[in-house]
Amino acid sequence: MQLFKKTKKLELKMDEFLDTVSEAGIIFQEGIKHYLNNKTDRFENQIKKIRQFENRADNLRRVIEQQLYTETLIPESRGDVLALLETTDNVINQAKETLLEFSVEKPQVPQVFHEEVLHLTDHVVHAVDEMTKAIRAFFKDPKAVRNYTHKVYHYESEADRASEHLKRAIFSSEKLTLAEKIHLRYFALHIDTIADRAEDVADRLGIYTIKRSI
């Protein structure tokens, strides 16, 4: 019975970890909106929140990893689960880093690009959301993983397209200096990288799911 209690606790921690990652995506989106709308206090508040979420995710990841090792749980798939946790953690780290860069570097984003930045952010957050659904499916219903990973790939390529579109618009603008263009380009790249990180997780999930089914 002790064994069931332990695994139940671990399941809850894993759910909490994924909730944290998923919520961090929403906080990131809100943060970008507040930044573009010049609501500095609210934007800084989102940064505070995403830092807390990133810390919480780190702590949960460590606790889960330690428990998996000290109690020798799931010996066959332990390595896969640990790698999955690490790569998922990269997603939330990237979201936090990107918001922090907005706070530190304060890029000037002309009104004309707002819609495209929000569009890009929207695709990125969708990719993260589908990624967390895919991870949940990996633990409970491996056959359903593909239903979610293909959506991750879809949103990731949409994010790539939106990012490219944004960069083209930035560099074809006649009102911006080259320095401003390069500065803005990096922010398009940073936001898009979050979707790339989600894609990394989906790639791993694809292999781990096949391994689980053998």
Partner 1 sequence: MLLLLYLSGGLFLGWSLGANDASNIFGTAVSTRMVKFRTAAIIASLFLILGAVISGAGTSQTLGELGSITMIAGAFMVALSAAFTVLWMTRLGLPVSTSQAIVGSIIGWNLFAGNSIDFYALSRIVFTWIFSPILAAIFAWLIYLIVTKLFSVARIHLFRLDSYTRISLIAVGAFGAYSLGANNIANVVGVFIPVVPFTDIEFVGITFNSAQQLFLLGGIAIAVGIFTYSKRVMLTVGKGLVKLNPQTALVVVLSQALVLFLFSSRGLEGWLAAHGLPTIPLVPLSSSQVVIGAVIGIGLAHGGKGIQYRILARIASGWVSTPVIAAIITFFALFVLQNVFNLKVY
73 binds partner 1, rule: CB under 8 A: yes
Structure tokens belonging to residue 51: 């830092």
Name the residue among 101, 83, 103, 82 with its Cα closest to residue 193: 101
3-state secondary structure of 109: coil
Under 8 Å CB-to-CB from 76, ≥6 apart: which residues? none
**Interacting span for partner 1 (CB under 8 A) from 7-15, 35-43, 113-121, 179-187:** 7-15
Give, as one character, the DSSP assignment of residue 144.
G
Distances (CA, A) of 98 to 32, 105, 179: 10, 10, 19
CA distance 31 to 51: 12
The owner of tokens 């056959």 is 143
Stretch that binds partner 1, among 20-28, 119-127, 137-145, 156-164 (CB under 8 A): 137-145
Residue 153 in the binding site for partner 1 (CB under 8 A): no
Torsion region of 177: left, alpha or beta (phi above 0 gives left; psi -120 to 50 gives alpha): beta
Residue list 88-117, contact with partner 1 (CB under 8 A): none
Which of 50, 81, 128, 145 is close enough to bind partner 1 by CB under 8 A?
81
Supply the minimum distance, in Å, between the C-beta of residue 92 and partner 1: 21
**Minimum distance from residue 213 beta carbon to partner 1 (Å):** 9
Least spacing, CB of residue 199 vs partner 1, in Å: 22
The answer to the question of residue 140 lying near partner 1 (CB under 8 A) is yes
Determine the Cα angle at 25 with ends 21 and 26, to 5°: 120
Q: What is the DSSP letter of 74?
A: S
Which residue in 38, 41, 70, 75 binds partner 1 (CB under 8 A)? 75
| Distance in angstroms (rounded) separating the CA atoms of residues 81 and 138 | 10
3-state DSSP call for residue 176?
Answer: coil
Among 59, 69, 74, 86, binds partner 1 (CB under 8 A): 74
Would you say 83 or 118 has its CB closer to partner 1? 83
Minimum gap (Å) between residue 166 Cβ and partner 1: 39
Work out whether 146 is an interface residue with partner 1 (CB under 8 A): no
Binding-residue total with partner 1 (CB under 8 A): 22
Report the SS3 class of residue 38. coil
Comparing CB distances to partner 1, the nearer of 72 and 172 is 72
Residues contributing to the site for partner 1 (CB under 8 A): 3-4, 6-8, 10-11, 14, 72-77, 81, 138-141, 143, 212, 214
